[in-house]
Chains A and B, each alone.
Chain A
Amino acid sequence: MKGSEAASRAPLELHAASEQKSAGKTSVVPADFLFRSLTAFFAFVVAATLVAIMGSLVLEGWPALRTFGWKFLITSTWDPVSNDFGALVFIVGTLVSSLIAMLIAVPVSFGIALFISELSPSWLRGPVSAVIELLAAIPSIIYGMWGLLVFAPWFAQIEPWMNDHLGALPGIGVLFQGPPMGIGMLTAGIVLAIMVIPFIASIMRDVFMITPATLKESAYALGSTTWEVARYVILPYTRTAVTGGIFLGLGRALGETMAVTFIIGNANNLSASLLMPGSSIASVIANEFTEATTHLYKSSLLALGLILFVITFIVLVFAKLMLLRLDNSLEGKKA
């Protein structure tokens, strides 16, 4: 880290030196200027892409937003025949499936990160990390296919048990009542969880590993157990980065398309049960965009895309800010 920091600072001074030198030799200046402008231009293009995405979605979604106004966000009608559209079903579907995913993925990722950083013998660290990272390399279409053709039929056999036992619970019971179809909101949440585990786990593992050994050893010297060190030393020390990692995973889960399209069931109505089929913003766009015949229909789907982009943008910005805070505090400590 120290080396890279020095390297990142040095070109500044170097550059100033080359500038002074080239003042005497004017022939060098145009080429340098051109090269620098060229790279700066493309850096600007990359940064502007994000703004362009936002702009184009606003522009294309505008007819729908103008027609339906704020009601677009809070109505649950989605009726292409009578050209009446509302986004509520899909917003709820996106949020609920991602919430289920996070409820599963966060504790699992924490366990994995804890195992790799504190428990695992050093020879096992690399292989376990590599296998977990494989989860991130598998494309989402494979998750979807596997989810629909392999996982859902298997899960459908467990669902009657859920009906009988979890469904009988007071209060939350209604969440687990429904026909055992295998596909639905809960299945989508579980598969999403598997997909985001590698992202959350790898960030947690990285920050757990850089927790200063002196802090951990002090706690151990006072007689703490490994769990107490993890809970009262490592976790508080890495809290912001862990939050950042969780939100990064959430950003992934919210925008995930193909896997969800396969297994969420694609029903355009709200239901209280998690076993019932639903829809997410991404899945309805994937399913209906090429079939959208009227201008308003297409515009409504693009407006949905805008909503998804805004939600993930906020989540990702929050995640990055959290992760940056860790970087800054580390650099501050070193200096």
Chain B
Amino acid sequence: MISRYMKRRVINTVNMAIAVLMTVFGVFWVVWILWTTLHYGIRALGPQLFLEDTPPPGADGGGLRNAFVGSLILLGIAVAIGTPVGVLAGTWLGEFASRHKKIGASVRFLNDILLSAPSIVIGLFAYAILVDPLGHFSALSGGVALALILIPVVVRTTDEMLRLVPVSLREAAIALGTPYWKMVTKITWKAASTGILTGIILGVARVSGETAPLLFTALNNQYFSVNLSHPIANLPVVIFQFAMSPYANWQQMAWAGAFVAVLFILLLSFGSRRLLSRETHRS
């Protein structure tokens, strides 16, 4: 009996040690990747990074100004399209879908699938509906591709946040004779605003690193451009191109771009998390 007990104890200790090891293993990668990005990125950081455009092959100097501006424009398009569509669709799910349980459940289901769909397929779709018929790559098609990735994130958070709004608020409004649409726009949206905003920020954080859908929509542009119907430089594709290149200064610039991108994304993620936790603490 003792030996059997000992055996169980040993198995337990070994397995628990493995669990701890696995956690260390997971944390190890985060540290390694972030440290590398920081290490190489900071060395290449400088004012010229934000003041000069991407250099031609072989040339010295240069920066990523056109890529930063292009990425911000693409994000702007994505938010401009993705926010209203996502919030309204999420509002239907959160406020009206309880009347049509089956339809609501299927829309949620499809939205969740869209949320995890491969981004390269979204890019192919944007190519098929915008680039192919119009005959040229454009910033607009890149923005639409990013919006398609942003929308399911916004839909989901809007839906979840609206369903967290207390019923008493709705009842109070209805009891005062408020029309339903006014109750939603003036009261439940307001009550859920922090949560919805968090969803949008998280969506932007996710979208801003996306590369695959931009490869054949926004393409890339060696020059500074703000024209929505032309190819536009953008950070992810420039990083991809520069990191794969044989030029040392290009690779260095790719690290600098990666550093800025990671910093931006981490700030957005932490910012939205803080926003949400402050909100939940207050209420």
Contact = CB atoms under 8 A, between A and B. Distances in A.
Contacts of B205: 137
A149 to B, nearest CB: 7
A64 interface: no
A255 B212 CA distance: 10
- Chain B: interface size category: 35 or more
A47 interface: yes
Closest 8 CB pairs of A and B: A139-B209, A255-B118, A111-B22, A35-B181, A39-B92, A225-B12, A257-B212, A10-B167
B239 A145 contact: yes
A9 interface: yes
A226 interface: yes
B98 A317 contact: no
Nearest to A195: B29
Give the interface SS of chain A, mostly helix, strand, loop or mixed.
Answer: helix
Given A45-B85, A134-B30, 19 more contacts: A4-B160, A11-B95, A12-B98, A15-B180, A35-B185, A43-B89, A44-B107, A46-B151, A50-B113, A108-B22, A131-B27, A134-B266, A137-B269, A142-B33, A142-B262, A146-B32, A257-B120, A285-B120, A286-B215
B80 interface: no
A286 B19 CA distance: 37
Contacts of B262: 138-139, 142
A39 B124 contact: no
Contacts of B182: 31
Contact of A228 (B12, B37, B129): B12
Interface in A310-332: 312-313, 316-317, 320, 324
A6 B22 CA distance: 39
A60 interface: yes
A34 interface: yes
Contacts of B93: 43
A141 B251 contact: no
A109 to B, nearest CB: 8
Interface in A188-208: 194, 197, 201
B163 A255 contact: no
B33 A138 contact: yes
B167 A312 contact: no
Interface in A9-27: 9-12, 14-15, 17-18, 21-22
A290 B241 CA distance: 13
A143 B269 contact: no
B243 A262 contact: yes
Interface string A75-110: 000000000000000000000000000000001111
Given A46-B111, A225-B9, A135 B124 contact: no
B124 A285 contact: yes
Given A139-B265, A305-B120, A316 B113 contact: yes
Interface residues of A, number: 99
B243 A256 contact: no
A170 interface: no
Interface stretch (A51-59, A161-169, A171-179, A270-278): A51-59
Given A22-B179, A290-B219, A308-B118, A227 B243 contact: no
Contacts of B251: 149
A149 B243 contact: yes
A209 to B, nearest CB: 15
B261 A42 contact: no
A186 interface: no
Contacts of B201: none
Contacts of B275: none
A49 B114 contact: yes
Interface string B51-64: 00000000000000
